[in-house]
């Protein structure tokens, strides 16, 4: 058992989710995550090698792999330097891309939602 003491609180380690992997159920340089309804976790992977390196992994809090989406590129639904992810109450997933200066929106079925905002807040 590992105990971590910080800010006068003690936390007990529970478990680990995922492992290192360039694709599939693991992670490759995870940089952010968002917790959605029904204990679904979206993890931003910002790998540097291979086609699946940049992707969003989707899994449950009990480590069940659901799938992944996204790829490296500049087209709709793709990203180059993903930095943050969020999920709203309707299940829309928002992904911020620092390199492309935009936020891509995906629907709750993990299909590209078709909304992109660039640096000057133009919708395209």
CATH of the structural domain 17-117, one choice from 3.30.70.260, 3.40.50.720, 3.30.1330.100, 2.40.10.500: 2.40.10.500
Tokens of 110: 């993990």
Q: Where are the domains of the chain?
A: 17-117
Q: Does the pTM of the predicted model rise above 0.85?
A: no
> Do residues 39 and 46 lie in contact, with contact meaning Cβ atoms separated by under 8 Å?
no
Please give the pLDDT value at position 124: 39
| pLDDT string in tens for the chain (124-residue length) | 455 566 777 777 676 777 676 666 778 888 999 999 889 999 998 876 665 668 898 999 888 888 888 888 898 888 889 999 999 998 899 999 999 999 999 886 655 455 554 554 444 3
């Amino acid at each position: 058992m590992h105990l971590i003491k910080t800010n006068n609180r003690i936390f007990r380690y529970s478990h680990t989710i995922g492992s290192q992997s360039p694709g599939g159920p693991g992670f490759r340089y995870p940089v952010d995550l968002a917790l959605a309804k029904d204990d679904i976790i979206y993890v931003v992977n910002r790998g540097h090698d291979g086609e699946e390196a940049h992707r969003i992994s989707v899994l449950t809090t009990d480590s069940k792999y659901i799938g992944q989406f996204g790829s490296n590129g500049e087209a709709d639904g793709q990203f180059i330097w993903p930095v943050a992810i969020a999920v709203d109450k309707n299940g829309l997933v928002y992904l911020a891309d620092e390199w492309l200066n935009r936020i891509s929106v995906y629907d709750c079925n993990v299909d590209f939602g078709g909304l992109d905002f660039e640096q000057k807040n133009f919708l395209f």
